[in-house]
């Protein structure tokens, strides 16, 4: 008998019928004798609906009130799922984050979990109940409701699994595992039997939203066995593992991630003197705008072009700040482009292979795609390209690195 934490995403609890189907699945595990803690998201579309309501009142809703609002989505699904379980003869009890006492810091809309009180959950489990917990939410020390950022129910699932030292955390979603790239974009994408935490963290942070980044970091840190599975069809899913699989030759590239959420800003003709980078970026960070890629290059005229990317939502704000900074620095011009996309190849196998970047750039050039920015780490290479070429680039790279399903029919 195992203790399993099962998390069901928005699509999986999107209708009453689907909630009933989730209850059947949970009950099957319970009937096999396992202890089950379930974490649920809001019904699909609900969190977006709530955010839109808030934005109908103010452009930048007060974060504390935003959390009170968006956390309601998950309160609906915990109650409905618990009712469905009870109706099917499976004792269950629902808990909000605050009722469990999932304590977080005070960073509203992007809070971090600090501690979890297991007492209520342990008592219910020992009394034979399924425990149903609202994902995505917690409370700070003062009792204010907080939320964990979009996709945060994954993190609730993993954090509960870590706190309870569960045997496995199962993330049930609308695809049957982690694929070489988003299967909704590339139809030859292939399900991976396993992927390392390290690769999954890169994939998630470079745009593959199948798991929230923090949930993977958490699982890696506390060594929580983590599996991504389909809510709708039975199958082995994808296991996120600590180690590379010693029995298999590691592919050079395990997956391709992409992100359409960024925008690019360039200050042209900045004098090449010490302190420029910080004078450009400090006002941006003071405005709470996160910067992702940065490229700086000194031209023959001893002037620097300084380019960086920000989240697309911050583009106008960042451009306005940069225009002021550029003036004070005597720079020539500020340019911006919010129709860009970032495409990244990820794989721990890159560490031991040369020529990966060359192959990536050759594949893009064969498709006639211009590379605007490049950044690399040990296990990933990212490029910024025009957004209109995104799908073409991902498909081309997917074939170039032998990831297509038909070429790998054995699944190796
Ligand atoms: P949930 O509501 O269950 O949390 P999400 O929409 O957050 O589901 O995540 C599942 C989605 O992630 C899939 O529908 C798929 O389109 C997308 N996705 C992006 N990259 C990948 C990938 N590499 N493998 C699988 N799914 C991916
Ligand atoms: N309901 C939240 C969201 O849509 C949390 C989650 O689904 O994981 O972001
Ligand atoms: Mg999700």
Would you say residue 197 lies in a domain?
no
pLDDT value of position 272: 87
Atom of ligand 1 nearest to the CA of 11: 2
Q: Mean pLDDT lowest for which of 113-122, 130-139, 222-231, 301-310?
A: 301-310
- Does the pLDDT of residue 149 top 70, yes or no? yes
Kindly state whether residues 138 and 280 are assigned to the same domain: no
| Residue bearing the CA closest to ligand 2, atom 5 | 151
Let me know how many helices (H) and strands (E) the chain has, helices first: 13, 20
Mean pLDDT, residues 336-361 taken together: 94
Calculate how far, in angstroms, residue 345's C-alpha sits from the geometric centre of ligand 1.
17
pLDDT value of position 301: 80
Enumerate the H helices of 33-96 as residue ranges: 46-55, 63-70, 72-87
Which position has the higher pLDDT, 301 or 275?
Answer: 275
DSSP-assigned beta bridge partners for residue 335: 266
154, 174, 194 - which closes a domain? 174
Mean pLDDT, residues 317-325 taken together: 95
Which residues' Cβ are closer than 6 Å to ligand 1? 9-12, 41, 151, 173-175, 178-179, 181-184, 208-210, 255
pLDDT value of position 165: 96
Give per-residue pLDDT as tens, 350-362: 988 889 999 999 9
- Does the pLDDT of residue 409 top 50, yes or no? no
Kindly state whether residues 143 and 40 are assigned to the same domain: yes
**Parallel, antiparallel or unpaired: strands 168-173 and 340-346:** unpaired
* Smallest-distance ligand from the CA of 152: 2
Look up the domain containing 132 and give its range.
Answer: 3-174
Kindly state whether residues 121 and 21 are assigned to the same domain: yes
Give per-residue pLDDT as tens, 210-230: 999 999 999 999 999 999 999
Which residues' Cβ are closer than 6 Å to ligand 2? 9-10, 41-42, 47, 73, 135-136, 150-154
Atom of ligand 2 nearest to the CA of 148: 5
Calculate how far, in angstroms, residue 199's C-alpha sits from the geometric centre of ligand 3.
18
Give per-residue pLDDT as tens, 159-198: 999 999 999 999 999 999 999 999 999 999 999 999 999 9
Cα distance between residue 366 and residue 364, in whole Å: 5
174, 207, 226 - which closes a domain? 174
Calculate how far, in angstroms, residue 329's C-alpha sits from the geometric centre of ligand 3.
43
Cα distance between residue 377 and residue 346, in whole Å: 10
Calculate how far, in angstroms, residue 196's C-alpha sits from the geometric centre of ligand 1.
17
pLDDT value of position 388: 97
- Residue 179 carries which DSSP code? B
Calculate how far, in angstroms, residue 84's C-alpha sits from the geometric centre of ligand 3.
23
Kindly state whether residues 118 and 12 are assigned to the same domain: yes
* Smallest-distance ligand from the CA of 149: 2
Would you say residue 408 lies in a domain?
no
Structure tokens at 388: 């209109």
Would you say residue 97 lies in a domain?
yes
CATH number at residue 288: 3.30.2130.10
Kindly state whether residues 260 and 170 are assigned to the same domain: no
174, 190, 213 - which closes a domain? 174
Mean pLDDT, residues 94-111 taken together: 97
Closest to 157 in 3D by CA, of 77, 227, 82, 235: 227
Kindly state whether residues 134 and 283 are assigned to the same domain: no
Would you say residue 246 lies in a domain?
no
| Residue bearing the CA closest to ligand 1, atom 10 | 210
Q: How many domains does the chain have?
A: 2
Calculate how far, in angstroms, residue 382's C-alpha sits from the geometric centre of ligand 2.
27
Would you say residue 333 lies in a domain?
yes
Kindly state whether residues 37 and 145 are assigned to the same domain: yes
Would you say residue 63 lies in a domain?
yes
The 3-state secondary structure of 234-248 reads: CCCCEEEECCCCCCC
Asked if 45 and 10 touch (Cβ cutoff 8 Å), the reply is yes
- Does the pLDDT of residue 247 top 80, yes or no? no
Would you say residue 27 lies in a domain?
yes
Would you say residue 157 lies in a domain?
yes
Kindly state whether residues 168 and 263 are assigned to the same domain: no
pLDDT value of position 246: 62
**Parallel, antiparallel or unpaired: strands 262-271 and 113-116:** unpaired
pLDDT band at 244 (very low <50, low <70, confident <90, very high): low
CATH number at residue 130: 3.40.1160.10
Pocket mutation for ligand 2, best pick of 7, 38, 47 (most atoms within 8 Å of C-beta)? 47
- Does the pLDDT of residue 268 top 90, yes or no? yes
pLDDT value of position 298: 85
- Does the pLDDT of residue 408 top 90, yes or no? no
Structure tokens at 300: 């023959």
DSSP-assigned beta bridge partners for residue 229: 172
Kindly state whether residues 285 and 163 are assigned to the same domain: no
| Residue bearing the CA closest to ligand 2, atom 9 | 150
Atom of ligand 1 nearest to the CA of 44: 2
Kindly state whether residues 20 and 149 are assigned to the same domain: yes
Calculate the average pLDDT of the chain: 94
Atom of ligand 2 nearest to the CA of 212: 8
Kindly state whether residues 264 and 165 are assigned to the same domain: no
Kindly state whether residues 155 and 263 are assigned to the same domain: no
Cα distance between residue 233 and residue 157, in whole Å: 21
Calculate how far, in angstroms, residue 176's C-alpha sits from the geometric centre of ligand 1.
9
Rg (CA), the chain: 23
* Smallest-distance ligand from the CA of 171: 1
List, as ranges, residues with CB under 5 A of the ion ligand 3: 9, 151
pLDDT value of position 411: 38
What percent of the chain clears pLDDT 70, i.e. is strictly above it?
97
pLDDT value of position 249: 65
- Does the pLDDT of residue 412 top 90, yes or no? no
Calculate how far, in angstroms, residue 115's C-alpha sits from the geometric centre of ligand 3.
22
- Does the pLDDT of residue 6 top 50, yes or no? yes
């Amino acid at each position: 008998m195992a203790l399993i934490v099962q998390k069901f995403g928005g699509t999986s609890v999107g209708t009453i019928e689907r909630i009933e189907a989730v209850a059947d699945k949970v009950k099957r595990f319970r009937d096999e004798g396992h202890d089950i803690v379930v974490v649920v998201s809001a019904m699909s579309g609900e969190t977006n609906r709530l955010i839109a309501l808030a934005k109908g009142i103010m452009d930048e809703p007060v974060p504390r009130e935003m959390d009170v609002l968006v956390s309601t989505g998950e309160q609906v699904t915990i109650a409905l799922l618990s009712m469905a379980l009870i109706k099917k003869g499976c004792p269950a009890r629902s808990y909000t984050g605050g009722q469990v006492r999932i304590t977080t810091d005070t960073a509203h809309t992007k809070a971090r979990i600090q501690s979890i009180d297991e007492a209520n959950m342990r008592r219910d489990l020992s009394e034979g109940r399924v425990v149903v917990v609202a994902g995505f939410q917690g409370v700070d020390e003062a009792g204010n409701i907080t939320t964990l950022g979009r996709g945060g129910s994954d993190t609730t699932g993993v954090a509960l699994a870590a706190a309870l030292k569960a045997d496995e955390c199962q993330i049930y979603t609308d695809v049957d595992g982690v694929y070489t790239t988003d299967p909704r974009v590339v139809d030859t994408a292939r399900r991976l039997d396993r992927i390392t935490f390290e690769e999954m963290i890169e994939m998630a942070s470079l745009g593959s939203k199948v798991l929230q980044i923090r949930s993977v970091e958490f699982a890696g840190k506390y060594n929580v066995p983590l599996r991504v599975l389909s809510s709708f069809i039975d199958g082995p899913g994808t296991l996120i593992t600590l180690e590379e699989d010693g029995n298999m030759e590691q592919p050079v590239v395990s997956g391709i991630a992409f992100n359409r959420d960024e925008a690019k800003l360039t200050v042209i003709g900045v004098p090449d003197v010490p302190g420029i980078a910080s004078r450009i970026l400090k006002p941006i960070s003071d405005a709470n705008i996160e910067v992702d890629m940065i490229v700086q290059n000194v031209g023959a005229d001893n002037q620097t072009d300084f380019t960086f990317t920000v989240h697309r939502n911050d583009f106008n704000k960042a451009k306005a700040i940069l225009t002021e900074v550029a003036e004070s620095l005597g720079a020539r011009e500020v340019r911006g482009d919010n129709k860009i996309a970032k495409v990244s190849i990820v794989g721990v196998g890159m560490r031991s292979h040369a020529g990966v970047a060359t192959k990536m750039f050759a594949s893009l050039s064969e498709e006639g795609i211009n590379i605007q920015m490049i950044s690399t780490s040990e296990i990933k290479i990212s490029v910024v390209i025009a957004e209109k070429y995104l799908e073409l680039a991902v498909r081309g790279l997917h074939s170039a690195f032998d990831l297509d399903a038909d070429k790998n029919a054995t699944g190796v």
